[in-house]
Structure formats: C-alpha cells, structure tokens
C-alpha cells in the first residue's frame, strides 16, 4: 500500500470545554474514497478541519505527506446578491491562473456552459458543481467535500457521485466525503466511518444492486448505481448527550 496522504492517530478534541472527538483514528490514501457519516454534532466537521490542518488536536498525532495538495468543497458559499460575479470570475478569485485552466475545471465538473453565468442565478446542483470545479483547480492529491449532496435530489446525488468517481479515477486522488445521511452513501466508497464523537463502526458499503432495502426505497428501476446503503453494526447506544453506553448484543439506533 502506498504511503498515506494523511494519518490521524488517536486524536481527541474539546471545544469550549466540551469533548467533540475522542480517540479517533483515520487514514487517507491515494485513490481511495472515504465517507464520514454521523448525526448532527457528531464531530464530522471538526475531524475534516483536523485533516485540512485548520485546527490542532488536543491529544494524538496528525501527519500529512510533504507537499500535499488539498482541494476543499464547502457545504455552501454565501455571495451577496448585489455583487456582479460570474462563474469564471468566481473561479479566478480562487486561482488567478490562465483562463484555460478554469475552463478545463468547469468542463471536468460538467458545467462549462455556465462560465459566464452570474453565480446568483445558479441552482443548488449547479453551484455544487461549480464549487467542485473550484476545488479541482488545485489538481488535488486529496479532495475534501463537506456535505456535497446537500439540497440535491437523489438523481442529482447519483450524477454527482458518478462524477466524483471519474475524478478519483483520473487524478488518482484520495476523497473524503462528509455526510449527515446515515444510510445513503456513495457506492464507490472504499470505507465508511460512522462518527459519534468516537468511531462507532466502519466498513465497506453494501452493494446497492444486491440490497433488497434499496429496492424498497427506490424501486428496482430507480437507476442510481452510484448510491449504496450502509448498515451500522454498533456495540453501544448513545444518550441524549452523545455519551456511549456499551451493551452485549443488538445494533445501535440513531433515533
């Protein structure tokens, strides 16, 4: 196996005196897709910020490969409606390189036709792809996406995840996806990590084409080959404060 791009080992983080992460480990390797899931307040964004080097850990270690290039796609960006800003100019503000590079990034994201469109006129799905193009301008070794499917319907999620798989295959980059959806994940994911301040469980998602629960949800002809269901297998439950209480048998529910 190649050298990890990012290695997080037994990290713990407290914010404002409140524990956010406890003894969490994570390894990101080139060419692999990792999906980080968990309910609101589980520490997903905190772990992503640790990976990005934006905040330090209280305990544990974080190592990054020297010269690591990271592309980041946030949940959303608020832009003043009165600001005259085209998609091309928006990308230029992130990377003021040649026009050809911005055109190539938009083409790769499937929105080259939006280059002269005002960003305020973009739909939610279009804006997500523009944000992806912005992240791709760096030719990243690691692509971090925070809730990339937020506000996008199932068909849009399927198309976006298919595009991300193509990006991974072409660039050979690692991808870290952050999602609040506990069960619907990208089918090409190599590892799913369920977080609730600590790692509750991890593993590969079940193949959507063989999972009867998928057909119950969407029907056999739904046509979403880039989505899969993930089944949790925890040995503990959480109280209202997020604290873990271990038990000997039975799965954990996130109700």
CA 158 → CA 60, 76, 164, 199, 235, distances in Å?
36, 19, 10, 27, 31
- Burial level of 111, CB count in 10 A (0-12/13-18/19+)? buried
**How many CB atoms sit inside 10 A of residue 142's CB?**
23
Give the pLDDT of residue 80: 81
Residues facing 12 on adjacent strands? 59
Question: How many angstroms separate the first and last alpha carbons of the chain?
Answer: 38
Contact of 185 with 214, CB cutoff 8 Å: no
CA 104 → CA 16, 58, 107, 135, 139, distances in Å?
43, 41, 5, 12, 11
Sequence ranges of the domains in the chain: 70-140
Closest CA to 24 of 40, 12, 39: 12
Half-sphere exposure of 84 (CA within 13 A, CB side): 0
**pTM greater than 0.85:** no
- pLDDT digits (tens), the chain, 255 positions: 578 999 999 999 998 889 999 999 999 999 999 988 887 888 999 999 999 999 999 999 999 999 999 999 987 788 888 888 999 999 999 887 889 999 999 999 999 999 999 999 998 888 888 999 999 998 999 999 988 877 677 777 788 888 899 999 999 999 999 987 656 677 788 888 888 888 877 777 764 334 444 344 335 544 455 666 556 666 666 554 556 666 654 444 444
């Amino acid at each position: 196996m190649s050298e990890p791009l990012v290695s997080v080992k037994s990290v713990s983080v407290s914010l404002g005196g409140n524990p956010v992460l406890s003894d969490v480990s994570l390894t990101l390797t080139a060419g692999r897709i990792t999906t980080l899931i968990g309910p609101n307040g589980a520490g997903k964004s905190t772990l992503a910020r640790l990976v990005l080097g934006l905040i330090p850990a209280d305990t544990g270690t974080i190592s990054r490969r020297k010269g690591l290039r990271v592309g980041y796609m946030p949940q959303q960006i608020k832009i003043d409606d009165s600001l005259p800003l085209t998609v091309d100019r928006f990308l230029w503000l992130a990377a003021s390189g040649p026009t050809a590079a911005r055109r190539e990034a938009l083409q790769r994201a499937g929105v080259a036709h939006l280059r002269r469109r005002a960003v305020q006129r973009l739909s939610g799905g279009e804006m997500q792809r523009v944000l992806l193009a912005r992240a791709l301008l760096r030719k990243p070794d690691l692509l971090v996406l925070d809730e990339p499917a937020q506000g996008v319907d199932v068909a849009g999620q399927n198309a976006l995840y298919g595009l991300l798989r193509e990006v991974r295959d072409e660039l050979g980059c690692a991808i870290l996806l952050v999602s609040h959806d506990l069960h619907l994940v990208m089918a090409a994911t190599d590892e799913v990590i369920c977080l609730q301040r600590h790692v509750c469980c991890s593993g590969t998602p079940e193949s959507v084409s063989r999972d009867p629960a998928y057909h119950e949800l969407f029907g056999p002809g739904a046509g979403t080959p880039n989505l899969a269901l993930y089944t949790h297998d925890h040995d503990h439950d959480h109280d209202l404060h997020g604290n873990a209480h271990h038990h000997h048998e039975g799965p954990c529910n996130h109700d």
